[in-house]
Amino acid sequence: MTKTPKQNSYDRRLNWLKNKFAVIILLAAAVIAFGSVTDSIDKIYGFFHKYFTSKPQVAETGTAQPNPPVRKLSSPANFNKTYISTASSGRVVFDYSNNNGLFIIGESPYFFKTKWSKASDRSIHVYNDPPSIVGVALAKGVSDVSKISDAATFDMSSRTRTPQENEYVILKNVNGYFAVLQIVEVKDRTALVQLNRCRNR
């Protein structure tokens, strides 16, 4: 086995001077290219920082999305006040053949501009057409509002739903809040509908 000869002190000094000389030449070239010592150092540092600094790895494990801004919703100034109920719960009766079938419940951000039309003497159509509504669902098989623990689980894939008397309909507004309504009674001959507004979340 052959041993590598040790560098003597002369060789070590020579190598040190070569390295320093290379740095000086590099810096001089940078000064010529960029115009000043400080600009050159900044640009050299920026280059090495950009391409040789390791970036921390971010694990993509269900990062929370920022909450969307809450939209301020309110009734148009010329909207018929007869067709507005700002209460968070309670019973209302209105004529769905008037006011283009529109009835407003709640206040911003719990604002819902609902739309209704005739179906039969025991059922009624409800729509997601108004801009404040993004979803409408029928709570099939639900006999009591307390059974609705998560309104978001109900199917809101259709533009319209047709609840019958005593059934529950769920609306979702643009701010992500839900309203649960029970159709208490539909009077087809007089075009009246009675709603029991159970709650909104």
| Closest residue by Cα to residue 110 from 17, 174, 25 | 174
| Closest residue by Cα to residue 96 from 124, 76, 122 | 124
Long-range contacts formed by 83-89: CB under 8 A, 24+ apart: 85/197, 87/197, 88/197, 88/199, 88/200, 89/197, 89/198, 89/199
pLDDT digits (tens, 9 = 90+) for 24-76: 565 555 555 555 555 555 665 565 555 555 444 444 444 444 455 666 666 66
DSSP letters of the chain?
A: -PPPPPPPHHHHHHHHHHHHHHHHHHHHHHHHHHSSHHHHHHHHHHHHHHHHSPPPP---S-PPPPPPPPPP----TTS-GGGEE--SSEEEEEETTSGGGEEEES-TTS-EEEEEEE--SSBEEEES-STTEEEEEEETT--SGGG-S-GGGS---SSEE-PBTT-EEEEEETTS-EEEEEEEEEETTTTEEEEEEEEE-
Whether this model's pTM surpasses 0.75? no
* Residue 70: both structure tokens together: 């809450």
pLDDT digits (tens, 9 = 90+) for 124-179: 999 999 999 999 999 999 999 989 999 999 999 999 999 999 999 999 999 999 99
The pLDDT assigned to 194 comes to: 75
The pLDDT assigned to 49 comes to: 54
